[in-house]
């Protein structure tokens, strides 16, 4: 299964694509969609939508995993982040892909084993888990972490279904 992970942001949206075969993960690609901090919000959202649409067209993922909005101290920032998530989710749904959401706590737990891990720890573990030659840019590493979280969650859910625990 090919998974597109997305770490949404109105200024920088990270993406990461991994392929999951059993319990093995393979890195396909990662990067950022950077609409520019000074552009109008509507234009940044269009850039995110167009970028995710392009990535889906190029890499043909089977599913999309996206990080949920965390409750920020600034409600306006959380609202803008929600718009960025919406643009990315809409691109995925318009492409006919299932969208799965994970909290930052779930992602960090799946990648590092500790839900309160710092960004450098996530970056280092993503590098190790995917055997990357270098540490990915912060937003791209977070997106790869979301994809890894979905791969692990999917495997766990399949195992629970097979054992009748679900």
CATH number, domain of 47, equals 3.30.420.10
User: pLDDT (tens digit, 9 = 90+) per residue, 72-122?
Assistant: 678 888 899 999 999 999 999 999 999 999 999 999 999 999 988 998 999
pLDDT tier at 161, thresholds 50, 70, 90:
very low
Q: Please give the share of the chain, as a percent, with pLDDT higher than 70.
A: 92
Mean pLDDT is lowest, of 34-48, 110-124, 137-151, 152-166, for: 152-166
Predicted local distance difference test score (pLDDT) of residue 160: 44
Number of domains in the chain: 1
Q: What are the beta bridge partners of residue 26?
A: 19
Residue among 56, 58, 52 at smallest CA distance from 35: 52
Task: List the domain range (segments joined by +) for residue 30.
Answer: 2-162
Global pTM value: 0.91
Give the residue numbers annotated as catalytic, written as ranges: 7, 67, 139
């Amino acid at each position: 299964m090919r998974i597109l992970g997305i770490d949404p942001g109105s200024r920088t949206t990270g993406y990461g694509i991994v392929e999951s075969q059993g319990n093995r993960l393979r890195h396909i690609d990662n990067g950022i969609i950077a609409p520019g901090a000074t552009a109008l919000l509507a234009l940044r959202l269009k850039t995110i939508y167009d970028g995710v649409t392009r990535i889906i067209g190029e890499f043909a993922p089977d599913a999309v995993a996206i990080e949920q909005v965390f409750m920020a101290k600034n409600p306006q920032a959380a609202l803008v982040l929600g718009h960025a998530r919406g643009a990315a989710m809409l691109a995925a749904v318009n492409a006919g892909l299932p969208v799965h959401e994970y909290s930052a706590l779930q992602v960090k737990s799946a990648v590092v084993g500790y839900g309160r891990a710092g960004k450098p720890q996530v970056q280092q573990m993503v590098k190790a888990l995917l055997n990357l030659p270098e540490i990915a840019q912060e937003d791209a590493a977070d997106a790869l972490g979301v994809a890894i979280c979905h791969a692990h969650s999917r495997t766990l859910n399949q195992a629970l279904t097979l054992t009748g625990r679900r």
